[in-house]
Structure 1
Amino acid sequence: MRQALPIVLAALLLGGCASHKPEDLNGTWINQKAIDEVVESGRVTQTLNKHGIELEWKLDVANQKASFSNGFEGVDGQLILNEDQWQVSTEGEEPARLTLRGDELKVANRTFGEQTFVRVKSPPAANAPLGGSFEKALYQAYLGGNWKIVEGQGKGASVRFGDTGNVTGLPGPDRFALCLAGDCATMGGSNDSLWLERNQRGAPFILKRDGDKLEIFQAVNSAQPDEMPVLAAGKRQWLLEQD
Protein backbone atom coordinates (compact mmCIF):
# COMPACT_ATOMS: atom_id res chain seq x y z
CA MET A 1 0.00 0.00 0.00
CA ARG A 2 2.86 2.36 0.81
CA GLN A 3 4.40 1.90 -2.65
CA ALA A 4 1.07 2.31 -4.41
CA LEU A 5 -0.04 5.40 -2.51
CA PRO A 6 1.93 8.03 -4.54
CA ILE A 7 0.52 6.57 -7.79
CA VAL A 8 -3.02 6.62 -6.43
CA LEU A 9 -2.62 10.21 -5.24
CA ALA A 10 -1.23 11.33 -8.59
CA ALA A 11 -4.10 9.70 -10.44
CA LEU A 12 -6.57 11.40 -8.15
CA LEU A 13 -5.09 14.81 -8.82
CA LEU A 14 -4.67 14.40 -12.57
CA GLY A 15 -8.16 12.98 -12.94
CA GLY A 16 -9.73 15.89 -11.11
CA CYS A 17 -11.65 13.55 -8.79
CA ALA A 18 -11.43 15.88 -5.79
CA SER A 19 -11.46 19.60 -5.22
CA HIS A 20 -8.75 19.33 -2.58
CA LYS A 21 -5.20 18.04 -2.73
CA PRO A 22 -4.42 15.09 -0.43
CA GLU A 23 -1.99 17.19 1.63
CA ASP A 24 -4.88 19.53 2.50
CA LEU A 25 -5.85 16.89 5.06
CA ASN A 26 -2.57 17.28 6.91
CA GLY A 27 -2.52 18.94 10.29
CA THR A 28 -4.36 19.11 13.59
CA TRP A 29 -8.14 19.55 13.58
CA ILE A 30 -10.33 20.38 16.58
CA ASN A 31 -14.04 20.11 17.34
CA GLN A 32 -14.79 23.85 17.51
CA LYS A 33 -18.56 23.30 17.62
CA ALA A 34 -18.19 21.40 20.89
CA ILE A 35 -16.15 24.27 22.34
CA ASP A 36 -18.75 26.82 21.26
CA GLU A 37 -21.52 24.81 22.90
CA VAL A 38 -19.53 24.42 26.13
CA VAL A 39 -19.21 28.21 26.31
CA GLU A 40 -22.88 28.76 25.50
CA SER A 41 -24.19 26.18 27.98
CA GLY A 42 -21.62 26.67 30.72
CA ARG A 43 -21.38 22.86 31.03
CA VAL A 44 -18.25 20.92 30.10
CA THR A 45 -18.55 17.15 30.44
CA GLN A 46 -22.24 16.88 29.52
CA THR A 47 -21.70 18.94 26.38
CA LEU A 48 -18.61 17.02 25.28
CA ASN A 49 -20.30 13.66 25.87
CA LYS A 50 -23.12 14.79 23.60
CA HIS A 51 -20.56 15.27 20.83
CA GLY A 52 -19.22 11.74 21.12
CA ILE A 53 -15.88 12.81 22.61
CA GLU A 54 -13.96 13.01 19.34
CA LEU A 55 -12.23 16.25 20.21
CA GLU A 56 -9.12 16.39 18.04
CA TRP A 57 -7.72 14.70 14.95
CA LYS A 58 -4.13 14.67 13.71
CA LEU A 59 -3.63 13.60 10.09
CA ASP A 60 -0.44 12.81 8.16
CA VAL A 61 -1.11 11.80 4.54
CA ALA A 62 2.49 11.00 3.56
CA ASN A 63 2.89 8.50 6.39
CA GLN A 64 -0.71 7.26 6.24
CA LYS A 65 -1.20 8.08 9.92
CA ALA A 66 -4.29 9.33 11.71
CA SER A 67 -4.87 9.80 15.43
CA PHE A 68 -7.70 11.21 17.48
CA SER A 69 -8.20 12.19 21.11
CA ASN A 70 -11.45 11.55 22.93
CA GLY A 71 -10.59 13.57 26.03
CA PHE A 72 -8.83 10.89 28.07
CA GLU A 73 -6.89 8.74 25.60
CA GLY A 74 -5.47 8.83 22.10
CA VAL A 75 -6.40 6.35 19.36
CA ASP A 76 -4.11 5.64 16.41
CA GLY A 77 -5.26 4.47 13.00
CA GLN A 78 -4.24 4.19 9.36
CA LEU A 79 -5.22 6.86 6.84
CA ILE A 80 -6.17 5.20 3.53
CA LEU A 81 -7.76 6.10 0.22
CA ASN A 82 -10.53 3.66 -0.68
CA GLU A 83 -12.38 4.22 -3.97
CA ASP A 84 -11.70 7.98 -3.92
CA GLN A 85 -12.88 8.21 -0.30
CA TRP A 86 -10.45 9.04 2.49
CA GLN A 87 -10.92 6.74 5.46
CA VAL A 88 -9.34 6.07 8.84
CA SER A 89 -9.07 2.43 9.80
CA THR A 90 -8.68 1.59 13.52
CA GLU A 91 -8.53 -1.85 15.09
CA GLY A 92 -11.93 -3.32 15.82
CA GLU A 93 -13.89 -0.33 14.50
CA GLU A 94 -15.69 0.46 11.26
CA PRO A 95 -13.59 2.90 9.16
CA ALA A 96 -14.38 6.58 9.63
CA ARG A 97 -14.97 8.57 6.42
CA LEU A 98 -13.19 11.89 5.96
CA THR A 99 -14.39 14.69 3.71
CA LEU A 100 -13.09 18.23 3.22
CA ARG A 101 -15.82 20.81 2.66
CA GLY A 102 -14.31 24.23 2.28
CA ASP A 103 -12.15 24.80 5.35
CA GLU A 104 -13.92 22.15 7.42
CA LEU A 105 -13.13 18.49 7.93
CA LYS A 106 -16.17 16.21 8.18
CA VAL A 107 -15.63 12.91 9.99
CA ALA A 108 -18.42 10.35 9.78
CA ASN A 109 -18.77 6.94 11.37
CA ARG A 110 -21.59 4.69 12.55
CA THR A 111 -21.01 5.37 16.27
CA PHE A 112 -20.94 9.16 16.36
CA GLY A 113 -22.54 10.18 13.07
CA GLU A 114 -20.92 13.13 11.31
CA GLN A 115 -18.82 15.66 13.21
CA THR A 116 -17.14 18.84 12.03
CA PHE A 117 -13.55 19.89 12.74
CA VAL A 118 -11.52 22.99 11.92
CA ARG A 119 -7.77 23.20 11.46
CA VAL A 120 -5.87 24.88 14.29
CA LYS A 121 -4.38 28.24 13.32
CA SER A 122 -1.09 27.65 15.14
CA PRO A 123 0.32 24.15 14.54
CA PRO A 124 1.34 22.46 17.80
CA ALA A 125 4.94 21.55 18.56
CA ALA A 126 6.09 18.18 17.31
CA ASN A 127 6.19 16.77 20.85
CA ALA A 128 2.85 18.26 21.93
CA PRO A 129 0.43 15.70 23.39
CA LEU A 130 -2.50 14.62 21.26
CA GLY A 131 -5.57 16.55 22.39
CA GLY A 132 -3.53 19.49 23.62
CA SER A 133 -4.72 21.83 20.87
CA PHE A 134 -8.38 21.21 21.71
CA GLU A 135 -7.68 21.69 25.40
CA LYS A 136 -5.83 24.93 24.75
CA ALA A 137 -8.67 26.32 22.62
CA LEU A 138 -11.24 25.25 25.23
CA TYR A 139 -9.33 26.93 28.06
CA GLN A 140 -9.09 30.15 26.07
CA ALA A 141 -12.80 30.17 25.24
CA TYR A 142 -14.23 28.90 28.54
CA LEU A 143 -11.88 30.31 31.18
CA GLY A 144 -9.94 33.02 29.35
CA GLY A 145 -9.87 36.66 30.38
CA ASN A 146 -9.63 38.35 33.77
CA TRP A 147 -11.49 37.03 36.81
CA LYS A 148 -11.83 38.58 40.25
CA ILE A 149 -12.30 36.77 43.56
CA VAL A 150 -15.45 38.25 45.10
CA GLU A 151 -15.86 35.62 47.83
CA GLY A 152 -13.33 33.32 49.46
CA GLN A 153 -9.67 33.41 50.41
CA GLY A 154 -7.82 36.09 48.47
CA LYS A 155 -10.92 38.24 48.00
CA GLY A 156 -10.25 41.10 45.59
CA ALA A 157 -7.40 39.35 43.78
CA SER A 158 -7.30 39.08 40.00
CA VAL A 159 -7.22 35.53 38.61
CA ARG A 160 -6.14 34.33 35.18
CA PHE A 161 -6.42 30.81 33.81
CA GLY A 162 -3.76 30.26 31.14
CA ASP A 163 -4.38 28.14 28.07
CA THR A 164 -1.48 25.84 28.99
CA GLY A 165 -2.94 24.97 32.40
CA ASN A 166 -1.29 27.61 34.57
CA VAL A 167 -3.36 29.73 36.95
CA THR A 168 -2.37 32.90 38.79
CA GLY A 169 -4.17 34.76 41.56
CA LEU A 170 -5.77 31.83 43.38
CA PRO A 171 -4.22 31.37 46.83
CA GLY A 172 -2.20 28.16 46.70
CA PRO A 173 -2.55 26.40 43.33
CA ASP A 174 -0.60 27.40 40.24
CA ARG A 175 -1.82 24.66 37.86
CA PHE A 176 -5.27 23.51 36.81
CA ALA A 177 -6.99 21.05 34.49
CA LEU A 178 -10.61 20.77 33.44
CA CYS A 179 -12.08 17.27 33.50
CA LEU A 180 -13.18 16.43 29.94
CA ALA A 181 -13.95 12.71 30.04
CA GLY A 182 -12.95 9.38 31.54
CA ASP A 183 -12.86 8.45 35.22
CA CYS A 184 -12.89 12.03 36.47
CA ALA A 185 -16.14 12.66 34.57
CA THR A 186 -17.64 9.44 35.93
CA MET A 187 -16.70 10.39 39.49
CA GLY A 188 -18.23 13.84 39.10
CA GLY A 189 -21.55 12.51 37.81
CA SER A 190 -23.55 15.45 36.47
CA ASN A 191 -21.03 17.92 37.91
CA ASP A 192 -18.10 19.54 36.13
CA SER A 193 -14.82 19.18 37.97
CA LEU A 194 -11.53 21.02 38.10
CA TRP A 195 -8.15 19.77 39.31
CA LEU A 196 -6.01 22.31 41.16
CA GLU A 197 -2.43 21.66 42.22
CA ARG A 198 0.89 23.11 43.26
CA ASN A 199 4.22 21.26 43.17
CA GLN A 200 2.41 18.20 41.74
CA ARG A 201 0.16 17.95 44.79
CA GLY A 202 -3.49 18.76 44.34
CA ALA A 203 -7.14 17.83 44.65
CA PRO A 204 -10.36 17.86 42.63
CA PHE A 205 -12.95 20.61 43.01
CA ILE A 206 -16.49 20.94 41.67
CA LEU A 207 -16.95 23.72 39.13
CA LYS A 208 -20.12 25.61 38.25
CA ARG A 209 -20.33 28.42 35.72
CA ASP A 210 -23.28 30.73 35.14
CA GLY A 211 -22.53 33.56 32.71
CA ASP A 212 -19.77 35.73 34.14
CA LYS A 213 -19.81 33.93 37.51
CA LEU A 214 -17.60 30.94 38.31
CA GLU A 215 -18.07 28.96 41.53
CA ILE A 216 -15.43 26.54 42.81
CA PHE A 217 -16.57 24.10 45.53
CA GLN A 218 -14.72 21.62 47.67
CA ALA A 219 -15.34 18.10 46.34
CA VAL A 220 -17.02 15.79 48.86
CA ASN A 221 -16.66 12.03 48.29
CA SER A 222 -19.75 10.02 49.28
CA ALA A 223 -18.40 6.61 48.20
CA GLN A 224 -17.03 3.89 50.45
CA PRO A 225 -13.22 3.49 50.69
CA ASP A 226 -13.25 0.44 48.39
CA GLU A 227 -15.49 2.11 45.78
CA MET A 228 -14.82 4.55 42.97
CA PRO A 229 -15.17 8.09 44.38
CA VAL A 230 -18.49 9.86 43.88
CA LEU A 231 -17.90 13.59 44.06
CA ALA A 232 -20.45 16.23 44.97
CA ALA A 233 -20.23 19.92 45.75
CA GLY A 234 -19.36 20.74 49.35
CA LYS A 235 -18.47 24.11 50.82
CA ARG A 236 -17.91 26.86 48.28
CA GLN A 237 -14.21 27.74 48.14
CA TRP A 238 -14.32 30.68 45.74
CA LEU A 239 -16.76 32.80 43.81
CA LEU A 240 -15.17 34.49 40.81
CA GLU A 241 -16.62 37.11 38.50
CA GLN A 242 -15.30 37.89 35.05
CA ASP A 243 -14.17 41.48 34.57
Structure 2
Amino acid sequence: MRRALILSALIGLLTGCAGTPSDPSGVWVNQAAIDAAGKGGKLREALLAYGPNLEWKLDTQADQATFSNGFELGEGQLTQTDPKHYRVDFYGSNQEALELDGKELVQVGSDNWPEQRFLRPKEQPAAQSPAGSTFENALYAAYLSGTWIIEEGEGKGSKVKFASNGSLEGMPGFDRYALCLAGDCAAMSGDNDSIWLQQGQQGREFLFERDGDKLELFEAVNRAQSDEMPQYAPGNKVWTLERD
Protein backbone atom coordinates (compact mmCIF):
# COMPACT_ATOMS: atom_id res chain seq x y z
CA MET A 1 0.00 0.00 0.00
CA ARG A 2 2.79 2.38 0.94
CA ARG A 3 4.63 1.56 -2.27
CA ALA A 4 1.45 2.32 -4.27
CA LEU A 5 1.08 5.70 -2.58
CA ILE A 6 4.69 6.62 -3.28
CA LEU A 7 4.33 5.55 -6.91
CA SER A 8 1.13 7.59 -7.24
CA ALA A 9 2.85 10.67 -5.81
CA LEU A 10 5.78 10.28 -8.19
CA ILE A 11 3.46 9.96 -11.18
CA GLY A 12 1.60 13.08 -10.10
CA LEU A 13 4.88 14.97 -9.71
CA LEU A 14 6.11 13.89 -13.14
CA THR A 15 2.78 14.75 -14.73
CA GLY A 16 2.84 18.21 -13.23
CA CYS A 17 6.36 18.84 -14.45
CA ALA A 18 5.58 17.56 -17.94
CA GLY A 19 3.51 20.64 -18.68
CA THR A 20 6.48 23.00 -18.36
CA PRO A 21 8.97 22.91 -21.25
CA SER A 22 12.61 22.58 -20.24
CA ASP A 23 13.61 24.84 -23.13
CA PRO A 24 11.21 27.65 -24.10
CA SER A 25 12.90 28.23 -27.47
CA GLY A 26 10.47 28.82 -30.30
CA VAL A 27 7.37 30.88 -31.01
CA TRP A 28 4.68 31.68 -28.44
CA VAL A 29 1.39 33.36 -29.38
CA ASN A 30 -1.16 35.38 -27.42
CA GLN A 31 -3.94 32.79 -27.68
CA ALA A 32 -6.26 34.73 -25.35
CA ALA A 33 -6.31 37.63 -27.82
CA ILE A 34 -7.03 35.24 -30.70
CA ASP A 35 -9.88 33.60 -28.77
CA ALA A 36 -11.38 36.97 -27.83
CA ALA A 37 -11.25 38.18 -31.43
CA GLY A 38 -12.79 34.95 -32.66
CA LYS A 39 -16.01 35.74 -30.79
CA GLY A 40 -16.81 38.23 -33.54
CA GLY A 41 -16.75 41.70 -32.03
CA LYS A 42 -14.38 44.62 -32.50
CA LEU A 43 -10.97 43.32 -33.47
CA ARG A 44 -8.64 45.90 -31.95
CA GLU A 45 -10.57 45.98 -28.68
CA ALA A 46 -9.94 42.25 -28.30
CA LEU A 47 -6.23 42.64 -29.09
CA LEU A 48 -5.77 45.52 -26.66
CA ALA A 49 -7.67 43.71 -23.90
CA TYR A 50 -5.13 40.86 -23.86
CA GLY A 51 -2.08 42.51 -25.46
CA PRO A 52 -0.58 44.69 -26.58
CA ASN A 53 2.15 42.15 -27.35
CA LEU A 54 0.97 39.35 -29.62
CA GLU A 55 3.91 37.01 -30.14
CA TRP A 56 7.27 36.11 -28.59
CA LYS A 57 10.11 34.20 -30.25
CA LEU A 58 12.82 32.88 -27.94
CA ASP A 59 16.20 31.39 -28.83
CA THR A 60 18.07 30.19 -25.75
CA GLN A 61 21.06 29.02 -27.81
CA ALA A 62 21.63 32.52 -29.23
CA ASP A 63 20.38 34.28 -26.06
CA GLN A 64 17.87 36.27 -28.13
CA ALA A 65 14.23 37.22 -27.67
CA THR A 66 11.90 39.02 -30.09
CA PHE A 67 8.36 40.23 -29.55
CA SER A 68 5.79 41.54 -32.02
CA ASN A 69 2.81 43.77 -31.27
CA GLY A 70 1.38 43.66 -34.79
CA PHE A 71 3.27 46.76 -35.91
CA GLU A 72 6.80 46.82 -34.52
CA LEU A 73 9.37 44.31 -33.33
CA GLY A 74 11.39 44.44 -30.14
CA GLU A 75 14.65 42.49 -30.05
CA GLY A 76 16.61 41.91 -26.86
CA GLN A 77 19.15 39.72 -25.08
CA LEU A 78 17.66 36.73 -23.28
CA THR A 79 19.12 35.69 -19.91
CA GLN A 80 17.94 32.77 -17.80
CA THR A 81 17.84 33.72 -14.11
CA ASP A 82 16.57 30.34 -12.82
CA PRO A 83 14.93 27.25 -14.38
CA LYS A 84 11.60 29.00 -14.96
CA HIS A 85 12.51 32.69 -15.13
CA TYR A 86 14.11 34.79 -17.87
CA ARG A 87 15.07 38.42 -18.33
CA VAL A 88 15.05 40.26 -21.65
CA ASP A 89 17.32 43.30 -21.91
CA PHE A 90 16.55 45.74 -24.71
CA TYR A 91 18.65 48.57 -26.09
CA GLY A 92 18.95 51.23 -23.41
CA SER A 93 17.67 50.29 -19.97
CA ASN A 94 14.38 48.59 -20.81
CA GLN A 95 13.83 45.11 -19.44
CA GLU A 96 11.04 42.55 -19.47
CA ALA A 97 10.61 39.52 -17.23
CA LEU A 98 9.33 36.20 -18.57
CA GLU A 99 8.41 33.10 -16.63
CA LEU A 100 7.20 29.61 -17.44
CA ASP A 101 3.90 28.71 -15.79
CA GLY A 102 2.93 25.20 -16.80
CA LYS A 103 2.30 25.29 -20.54
CA GLU A 104 2.20 29.08 -20.63
CA LEU A 105 4.88 31.72 -21.11
CA VAL A 106 4.04 34.72 -18.93
CA GLN A 107 5.23 38.23 -19.64
CA VAL A 108 5.27 39.58 -16.10
CA GLY A 109 3.33 42.78 -15.53
CA SER A 110 5.45 45.94 -15.31
CA ASP A 111 5.17 49.71 -15.43
CA ASN A 112 4.99 49.41 -19.22
CA TRP A 113 2.64 46.44 -19.72
CA PRO A 114 0.02 44.37 -17.93
CA GLU A 115 0.63 40.66 -17.44
CA GLN A 116 0.30 38.80 -20.74
CA ARG A 117 0.17 35.07 -21.36
CA PHE A 118 1.32 33.09 -24.40
CA LEU A 119 0.98 29.51 -25.62
CA ARG A 120 3.01 27.45 -28.05
CA PRO A 121 1.16 26.87 -31.35
CA LYS A 122 0.44 23.23 -32.16
CA GLU A 123 3.06 23.40 -34.91
CA GLN A 124 6.14 25.58 -34.79
CA PRO A 125 6.65 27.73 -37.92
CA ALA A 126 9.57 27.39 -40.29
CA ALA A 127 12.75 29.07 -39.08
CA GLN A 128 12.57 31.71 -41.81
CA SER A 129 8.97 32.73 -41.03
CA PRO A 130 8.66 36.49 -40.41
CA ALA A 131 8.31 37.53 -36.79
CA GLY A 132 4.65 37.97 -35.88
CA SER A 133 3.36 35.91 -38.80
CA THR A 134 2.40 32.89 -36.68
CA PHE A 135 0.06 34.99 -34.55
CA GLU A 136 -1.29 36.79 -37.62
CA ASN A 137 -2.10 33.56 -39.46
CA ALA A 138 -3.83 32.09 -36.41
CA LEU A 139 -5.80 35.30 -35.89
CA TYR A 140 -6.94 35.43 -39.51
CA ALA A 141 -8.10 31.81 -39.29
CA ALA A 142 -10.06 32.48 -36.09
CA TYR A 143 -11.54 35.82 -37.10
CA LEU A 144 -12.50 35.28 -40.74
CA SER A 145 -12.67 31.52 -41.19
CA GLY A 146 -15.34 29.84 -43.27
CA THR A 147 -17.29 30.93 -46.33
CA TRP A 148 -18.88 34.37 -46.49
CA ILE A 149 -21.70 35.32 -48.87
CA ILE A 150 -21.96 38.84 -50.31
CA GLU A 151 -25.48 39.93 -49.32
CA GLU A 152 -25.12 43.57 -50.44
CA GLY A 153 -22.76 45.25 -52.86
CA GLU A 154 -20.87 44.33 -56.01
CA GLY A 155 -20.77 40.59 -56.57
CA LYS A 156 -23.95 39.93 -54.60
CA GLY A 157 -24.39 36.22 -54.04
CA SER A 158 -20.69 35.44 -54.47
CA LYS A 159 -18.84 33.27 -51.99
CA VAL A 160 -15.84 34.91 -50.31
CA LYS A 161 -13.02 33.13 -48.51
CA PHE A 162 -10.36 34.85 -46.39
CA ALA A 163 -7.35 32.52 -46.15
CA SER A 164 -5.09 32.57 -43.12
CA ASN A 165 -2.10 33.55 -45.30
CA GLY A 166 -3.82 36.76 -46.48
CA SER A 167 -5.08 35.52 -49.83
CA LEU A 168 -8.68 36.34 -50.77
CA GLU A 169 -11.17 34.59 -53.04
CA GLY A 170 -14.48 35.88 -54.38
CA MET A 171 -14.19 39.58 -53.48
CA PRO A 172 -14.64 41.62 -56.67
CA GLY A 173 -11.44 43.41 -57.63
CA PHE A 174 -9.23 42.06 -54.83
CA ASP A 175 -7.16 38.94 -54.14
CA ARG A 176 -5.23 39.88 -50.97
CA TYR A 177 -6.15 41.35 -47.60
CA ALA A 178 -4.56 42.44 -44.32
CA LEU A 179 -6.26 43.27 -41.03
CA CYS A 180 -5.01 46.33 -39.16
CA LEU A 181 -3.67 45.19 -35.79
CA ALA A 182 -1.77 48.25 -34.53
CA GLY A 183 0.43 51.15 -35.59
CA ASP A 184 -0.21 53.86 -38.17
CA CYS A 185 -3.26 52.17 -39.70
CA ALA A 186 -4.85 52.01 -36.25
CA ALA A 187 -4.02 55.64 -35.51
CA MET A 188 -5.56 56.74 -38.82
CA SER A 189 -8.72 54.69 -38.26
CA GLY A 190 -9.51 56.02 -34.79
CA ASP A 191 -11.99 53.75 -32.99
CA ASN A 192 -12.79 51.87 -36.19
CA ASP A 193 -11.41 48.54 -37.34
CA SER A 194 -9.80 48.61 -40.78
CA ILE A 195 -8.83 46.16 -43.49
CA TRP A 196 -6.55 46.60 -46.51
CA LEU A 197 -7.74 45.01 -49.77
CA GLN A 198 -5.34 44.62 -52.69
CA GLN A 199 -5.11 43.38 -56.27
CA GLY A 200 -1.63 43.21 -57.73
CA GLN A 201 0.21 46.39 -56.70
CA GLN A 202 -2.96 48.42 -56.11
CA GLY A 203 -4.93 48.48 -52.89
CA ARG A 204 -7.04 50.57 -50.58
CA GLU A 205 -8.22 50.72 -47.01
CA PHE A 206 -11.78 50.03 -45.87
CA LEU A 207 -13.32 50.37 -42.44
CA PHE A 208 -15.40 47.49 -41.18
CA GLU A 209 -17.78 46.38 -38.47
CA ARG A 210 -18.06 42.76 -37.40
CA ASP A 211 -21.05 41.46 -35.45
CA GLY A 212 -20.91 37.70 -35.13
CA ASP A 213 -21.45 36.25 -38.60
CA LYS A 214 -22.13 39.63 -40.20
CA LEU A 215 -19.34 41.74 -41.72
CA GLU A 216 -19.93 45.23 -43.13
CA LEU A 217 -17.29 47.15 -45.10
CA PHE A 218 -17.39 50.91 -45.54
CA GLU A 219 -15.48 53.45 -47.58
CA ALA A 220 -12.65 55.04 -45.57
CA VAL A 221 -13.25 58.78 -45.88
CA ASN A 222 -10.29 61.00 -44.97
CA ARG A 223 -11.36 63.91 -42.72
CA ALA A 224 -7.85 65.36 -42.30
CA GLN A 225 -6.23 68.27 -44.12
CA SER A 226 -3.80 67.53 -46.96
CA ASP A 227 -0.78 68.26 -44.75
CA GLU A 228 -2.00 66.13 -41.84
CA MET A 229 -1.94 62.41 -41.11
CA PRO A 230 -5.09 60.86 -42.62
CA GLN A 231 -8.01 60.45 -40.25
CA TYR A 232 -10.53 57.98 -41.63
CA ALA A 233 -14.24 57.86 -40.84
CA PRO A 234 -16.85 55.44 -42.22
CA GLY A 235 -18.40 56.57 -45.50
CA ASN A 236 -20.88 54.73 -47.70
CA LYS A 237 -21.34 51.04 -47.05
CA VAL A 238 -19.69 49.04 -49.83
CA TRP A 239 -20.41 45.43 -48.86
CA THR A 240 -22.37 43.34 -46.39
CA LEU A 241 -21.17 39.76 -45.97
CA GLU A 242 -22.80 36.96 -43.99
CA ARG A 243 -20.93 33.84 -42.94
CA ASP A 244 -22.56 30.75 -44.43
Extract unaligned runs of 5+ from structure 1: 1-17
Alpha carbons of structure 1 residues 189 and 79: separation in structure 2 relative to 1, 3 Å: same
Q: Secondary structure at the match of 1:140?
A: helix
- 2-side partners of 1:91 and 1:129: how far apart? 21
- 2-side partners of 1:22 and 1:29: how far apart? 12
The Cα of 1:93 is off from its aligned counterpart by 4.7
Query: Are 2:130 and 1:129 aligned?
Result: yes
Q: Secondary structure at the match of 2:71?
A: coil
- 2-side partners of 1:47 and 1:92: how far apart? 31
The Cα of 1:120 is off from its aligned counterpart by 1.3
The Cα of 1:86 is off from its aligned counterpart by 1.4
Query: Are 2:197 and 1:199 aligned?
Result: no
User: Is the CA contact (8 Å cut-off) linking 2:220 and 2:232 kept in structure 1?
Assistant: yes
- 1-side partners of 2:24 and 2:205: how far apart? 38
Letter in 1 for 2:144: L
User: Is the CA contact (8 Å cut-off) linking 1:207 and 1:215 kept in structure 2?
Assistant: yes
The Cα of 1:50 is off from its aligned counterpart by 3.2
User: Is the CA contact (8 Å cut-off) linking 1:95 and 1:109 kept in structure 2?
Assistant: no
- 4+ runs deviating over 2 angstroms: 18-24, 49-52, 82-85, 92-95
User: Is the CA contact (8 Å cut-off) linking 1:51 and 1:112 kept in structure 2?
Assistant: no
Using the TM superposition, name which of 98-107 and 189-198 deviates more.
98-107
| Structure 1 residues 39-78: aligned runs within 5 Å | 39-40=38-39, 42-78=41-77
Alpha carbons of structure 1 residues 114 and 93: separation in structure 2 relative to 1, 3 Å: farther
Letter in 2 for 1:79: L
Size of the alignment, in residue pairs? 226
- 2-side partners of 1:182 and 1:167: how far apart? 23
The Cα of 1:83 is off from its aligned counterpart by 5.2
Query: What's the counterpart of residue 158 of structure 1?
Result: 159
Using the TM superposition, name which of 77-86 and 129-138 deviates more.
77-86
Letter in 2 for 1:168: E
Q: Percent identity?
A: 49
User: Is the CA contact (8 Å cut-off) linking 2:20 and 2:103 kept in structure 1?
Assistant: no
| Structure 1 residues 206-225: aligned runs within 5 Å | 206-225=207-226
- Measured against aligned partners, the alpha-carbon deviations of 1:94-130 in whole angstroms (never above 9, x if no partner) come to 4222221221111114111211100011211222110
User: Is the CA contact (8 Å cut-off) linking 2:20 and 2:102 kept in structure 1?
Assistant: no
Query: Are 2:218 and 1:238 aligned?
Result: no
User: Is the CA contact (8 Å cut-off) linking 1:94 and 1:109 kept in structure 2?
Assistant: no
- 1-side partners of 2:194 and 2:213: how far apart? 18
Q: TM-score, normalised by structure 1?
A: 0.88
Alpha carbons of structure 1 residues 93 and 207: separation in structure 2 relative to 1, 3 Å: farther
CA RMSD of aligned residues (A): 1.7
